[in-house]
Homo-oligomer: A and B are copies of this chain.
Amino acid sequence: MATMQTFFKSRWVTPPDGTAELNPAQLAPGFRAAGIACGLKVGGATDVGVLACDSTEVRSALAVTRSAAAAAPVRVCREDCDAGAIRAIAVNSGNANAATGEQGYRDALAMRDAAAEALGVEPRTVAVAETGTIGIPLDIEAVSAGVLEAVASLSTEGGDDFARAIMTTDRAPKRCAVRAGGVTVSAQAKGAGMIEPGFATMLCFMQTDAEVDDPDAALRSALSSSMERITVDGQMSTNDTVVLQATGAAGAPLPEGLLDSVLLQLALEIVADGEGATRVGRVDVRGAADPEEAERVGRAIANSPLVKTALFGRDSNWGRIAQAAGMALAGEEVWELGPDRIQAAELAAEVPEAELSIALGRGEADAHVYFSDLTHDYIRINAEYTT
């Protein structure tokens, strides 16, 4: 394995001591992946990915969107999947297969079954994920053929193809591979719009050869400090899906903080690659009455179009932060939010990652949220988006 000298890109990510960053497209030992084009995307970009674990000893954890309009693949993952024993994942990035009714559900099952049969594994050990336009019938013939082709192409070198095959409006693939404490963690993510908690991502897959006793607890803990702390457009997705797979083959546990670092790096890449985004902000809320209030104020600031356009426009307009906080605390006793309580200078500074803060002086609870700016390109992408 080639160890690179460059480390995590964001100043907000602090990996555990001794973490070595690997080629970001590398997969953890015991995993193979592939990405191919099945024809869903105009222009022939890759749109079907399969990722599989060679080991029958794999343990896994699954987290999906809380949206009441969850897509068919999410419902299949919820209802027809052994979340603790996921061997493989089949993904299409051309069609969300959301709001597609009973036929959509049957199509997602068929996609899962095609992957399971080609891999020779139990259908319930295959997770399915889909992303793309909502409300369009899925071309299941093309997707199933694509899944077979992807299974036939599985390779330990396929991480980059897989990461690219799950992209939609992403400007670049998002993947990360690290080694620490004798174990390897690799991960791939996508997501550029409809990013908001209920772990704010579209799709994210993590593989490791570490021994993970409680994959569900490990996943939820890592999500809480990464994917659940970001927003692009405040829109919860119908298709959010995160899978962690661990083989245990390395015979060593995950070093504390390693998974968190990987997920936070990918989460920040999702924000930085938010639709039309040019900058990332981090707002720290301090002194809230309770954690729920801290979170609410942080979200109100991070999702305010006025704060997001100020981040884009290099305008250190702290008044917009006061306004958003005042809205989040509507009905509370009126109090003064002056410039002594709000740090917003980095809005105007030429830094790619700008830190803001607000001190509410109401209690001891803190929270922070990462967010993207709101730009002309966001409008262009979303006003002109079709298929």
Contact = CB atoms under 8 A, between A and B. Distances in A.
A318 interface: yes
Contacts of A153: none
For this chain, the copies found in one complex come to: 2
Contact of A68 (B67, B101, B102, B334): B334
Interface string A282-312: 0000000000000000000000111001101
A196 interface: yes
A323 B385 contact: no
A133 B319 contact: yes
A319 B68 contact: no
Given A99-B337, A315-B385, A69 B322 contact: yes
A318 B135 contact: yes
A218 interface: no
Interface string A336-360: 1111000000000000000000000
Contact of A326 (B69, B331, B333): B69
Contacts of A374: 305, 379
B235 A67 contact: no
A130 interface: no
Given A101-B336, A379-B312, A134 B323 contact: yes
A384 interface: yes
A385 B198 CA distance: 33
Interface residues of A, number: 68
Nearest to A104: B336
A76 to B, nearest CB: 12
A237 interface: yes
A187 B166 CA distance: 55
A263 interface: no
Contacts of A310: 382-383
Given A135-B322, A334-B75, A382 B306 contact: yes
Contacts of A323: 67, 69, 98, 134, 194, 235-238
Nearest to A233: B305
Interface in A85-138: 96, 98-102, 133-136
Nearest to A196: B327
Interface string A240-254: 000000000000000
A46 interface: no
B236 A326 contact: yes
B329 A68 contact: yes
A134 to B, nearest CB: 3
Contacts of A234: 304-305
24 contacts: A66-B330, A66-B331, A67-B323, A67-B327, A67-B329, A69-B322, A69-B329, A70-B326, A98-B322, A99-B337, A99-B339, A101-B336, A135-B338, A193-B306, A234-B304, A235-B305, A237-B323, A238-B323, A309-B383, A310-B383, A374-B379, A375-B383, A376-B379, A378-B379
Given A69-B327, A237-B323, A375-B383, 14 more contacts: A67-B327, A67-B329, A68-B326, A69-B326, A101-B336, A134-B319, A135-B319, A135-B338, A135-B339, A234-B304, A236-B323, A236-B330, A238-B322, A376-B379
